[in-house]
């Protein structure tokens, strides 16, 4: 039963990652393109993000302030979607794992997308962040600060939701297993970070700064789990 659960859990993660890319590109950028009278020309959703980035191409005669909304729309909509999904998970709107697991992963990916974009983009500007910095909407420092705010604002919520998913599925019953699962989960961050760094021309600079920061969530999760997920081993 555990093996089947984790296979389904990981497969759902992959599917929801693609859905998260759709949210960013189509529901984010695309929504504002259409709202301002533009036309979507092409949408590319990458299954190898962040090594290969998704993108959307559009056409239209936009004013400067409209272009800013379009370029920032992916980050904005992802944050909104993630907050809504996190709230639904924390409120236990559904206890059925068939719904809870997809909701959890979509909440995670739509949280990680803007947080990662802002933090890594502040360190080494690219994509939407580079465009927003060029227009004076962001600076590298403000991008990093906003990214950390998004991350810190959702870290506890995402962690708690993961624990609830694992408990609800009756997969992990001991506190030690829950601690380990939480720490392993947050190692997704350095995995994603290094995947992006290996594609950038500023590899060593990116790995040195972003790589070091990427391990902090797993470290914080480990410390938090030791403090708040305590014995007795049998979780109630």
Orientation of helix 97-123 relative to helix 127-134, angle to 10° = 50
- Average pLDDT (205-220) is 74
Q: What is the DSSP string of 53-106?
A: --EEEEE----HHHHHHHHHHHHHHHHHHHHHHHHHHHTTS---HHHHHHHHHH
C-beta of residue 178 within 8 angstroms of C-beta of residue 163: yes
The tens digit of pLDDT for each residue in 39-67 reads: 999 999 988 777 788 999 999 999 999 99
In whole angstroms, give the CA distance from residue 23 to residue 71.
14
Highest mean pLDDT out of 46-50, 125-129, 189-193: 125-129
- Average pLDDT (172-187) is 81
In whole angstroms, give the CA distance from residue 170 to residue 32.
42
Higher pLDDT, 193 or 144: 144
Model confidence at 220, in pLDDT bands (50, 70, 90)? confident
pTM for this prediction? 0.88
Model confidence at 233, in pLDDT bands (50, 70, 90)? very low
Paired with 141 in beta bridges are none
In whole angstroms, give the CA distance from residue 41 to residue 29.
12
Q: How many helices (H) and strands (E) does the chain have?
A: 11, 2
- Average pLDDT (86-99) is 88
In the block, residue with structure tokens 């709230």: 87
Model confidence at 206, in pLDDT bands (50, 70, 90)? low
């Amino acid at each position: 039963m555990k093996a089947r659960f984790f296979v389904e859990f990981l497969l759902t993660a992959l599917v929801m990652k693609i859905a998260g890319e759709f949210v960013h590109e189509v529901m984010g950028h695309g929504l504002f393109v259409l709202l301002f009278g533009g036309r979507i020309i092409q949408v590319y959703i990458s299954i190898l993000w962040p090594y290969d980035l998704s993108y959307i191409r559009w056409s239209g005669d936009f004013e400067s302030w409209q272009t800013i909304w379009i370029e920032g729309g992916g980050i904005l909509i992802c944050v909104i979607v993630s907050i809504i999904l996190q709230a639904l998970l924390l409120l236990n709107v559904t206890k059925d794992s068939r719904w809870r697991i997809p909701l959890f992963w979509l909440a995670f990916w739509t949280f990680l997308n803007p947080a990662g974009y802002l933090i890594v983009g502040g360190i080494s500007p690219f994509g939407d962040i580079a465009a927003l910095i060029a227009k004076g909407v962001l600076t590298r420092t403000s991008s990093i600060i906003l990214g950390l705010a998004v991350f810190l604002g959702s870290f506890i919520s995402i962690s708690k939701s993961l624990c609830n998913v694992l408990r609800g599925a009756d997969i992990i019953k001991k506190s030690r297993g829950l601690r380990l699962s939480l720490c392993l989960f947050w190692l997704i961050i350095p995995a994603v970070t290094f995947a992006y760094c290996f594609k950038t021309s500023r590899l060593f600079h990116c790995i040195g700064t972003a790589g070091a920061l990427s391990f902090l969530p797993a470290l914080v999760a480990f410390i938090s789990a030791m403090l708040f997920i305590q014995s007795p081993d049998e979780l109630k």
